[in-house]
Structure 1
Amino acid sequence: MFDRLLYRGPSLEVLHEEYAKKGRLDERAPLIAVHEIRIEAPVERVWKLLSDPAGWGLLDPAIRDIRLDSTVAVDAGFTWKNGMARIKSRFAVIQPRREITWTGVSAGAHAVHRHLLEETADGATQVRTEESMGGPLLVLFFNNAKLQATLEKWLAGLKRAAEA
């Protein structure tokens, strides 16, 4: 438990370059969650929603104040709020219709958040999201159940918007 409490993990730069860009989460991070959902919409529509950070508030009203440094591209930065947390992020993987991944930092916690899209044979989209978070004292105010609930809420919002 003490190790989880004080876990710092890799630097944000290493997390970005050696983990996120290579399709990896921080497997040693104290918080890891995964969620999948089937969306009855074409992968193009789902991709359009995920690759438009300015519209993320439509997926989850807790997300707001999104500011992109440039376009959605590998290594492009953006800042945003999720609830009370101000997050500074950077895109690590942009593979249209297949994957969008970013890293982020908020209050000393480092995260990798991946989204994998797969077109199904019948024209729907299977979306898998996975996230790892680590940082000193993080487990005092956030836990796996909360992270899991956040991912479930996020994908439910994506599903609602894509199927509308």
Structure 2
Amino acid sequence: MSTTDTFPTTIDESAPVVVRREVRIEAPIDLVWRLHTDVAAWPTWQTDVASAHIDGPLVPGASFRWSTHGIDVTSTVYALDAPRRILWGGPAQGVTGIHEWTFAAEGGATIVRTAESWDGDPVRADAEGQRAALDASLGAWLTLLRTKAEAKATKRAKRAPRRRWAKVLAWMSLGLTALFVLAEPWLLVPVLTFALALSLWD
């Protein structure tokens, strides 16, 4: 583990427990990133998270509070490079965790990789048990993230044709309006009068 200005820049590779996982999600990276970094919304799809709260934007140095498996955790964002990487961590019940997430676009899909290190007396007392618990937790998180992101991607794809037609109709309407104005310039008078009235309205 290396640090800059007291913040870790990577997970602690020398910790007694280090777990890595990855998953391919059939959804674009922007969608996956927004879903994953919307901390306050975690409880709506992350069934292992009972509550989550953050004051202000998610930026390096920001802290957020969340509760998982009956444990209250305060995590600090150590590094953030949207939409490619986020690193956070902090102590909880004697365990110091550092958690890294990376996101890579692959066509229309996203490869999500996560790595987390745990250290502390409870971890050293039962490294194998703690490793198994962490591995299960990360696996569940990735599964839930994939399920939610792919469902959102499906809805987005279904809305795409309707949005295209809406754009076509909007441009057609604008074009017809321009033709009417060119043919009858006086039609601009009521529009300009209305705009002037709005600008003078108190």
TM-score, length basis structure 2: 0.68
SS at match of 1:89: strand
Partner of 1:152: 139
Residue 44 of structure 2 corresponds to 58
**1:95 Cα deviation after fit:** 1.1
Match of 1:124 in 2: 109
Unpaired segments ≥5 residues, structure 1: 1-9
For the 8 Å contact 2:104–2:112, the answer to whether it is kept is yes
Q: Deviations over 1:62-109 (max 9, x none)?
A: 212212132111110111101111111111122111011111211121
Map of 1:105 onto structure 2: 91
C-alpha change, 1:16 and 1:57, in structure 2 (3 Å) is: farther
CA–CA distance in 1 between the matches of 2:11 and 2:5? Answer: 10
Q: Larger deviation: 54-63 or 135-144? A: 135-144
Q: Sequence identity of aligned pairs in percent? A: 31
Q: 1:117 to 1:17 in 2, by over 3 A?
A: farther
Q: TM-score, normalised by structure 1?
A: 0.83
Number of equivalenced pairs = 148
Structure 2 match to 1:68: 54
The equivalent residue for 1:6 is none
Larger radius of gyration: 2
Matches within 5 A, 1:1-164: 17-19=6-8, 22=9, 24-120=10-106, 122-140=107-125, 142-164=129-151
Other structure's SS at 1:137 match: helix
Quick one: distance in 1 between partners of 2:31 and 2:5?
27
Flag the structure with more relative contact order, 1 or 2, with Cα contacts below 8 A and sequence separation at least 6: 1
* 5+ residue gaps, structure 2: 152-202
Q: Indicate conservation of the 8 Å contact 2:42/2:51, yes or no.
A: no
Q: State whether residues 80 and 88 of structure 1, in contact with CA within 8 Å, keep that contact through their aligned partners in structure 2.
A: yes
Runs of 4+ in 1 over 4 A off after TM superposition: 139-142
Output the amino acid matched with 2:37: S
How far is the alpha carbon of 1:137 from its aligned partner?
2.3
Q: Return the structure number with greater strand share.
A: 1
Q: Distance in 2 between matches of 1:148 and 1:80?
A: 19
Offset of 1:115 from its aligned partner? 0.5
More helix as a share of residues: 2
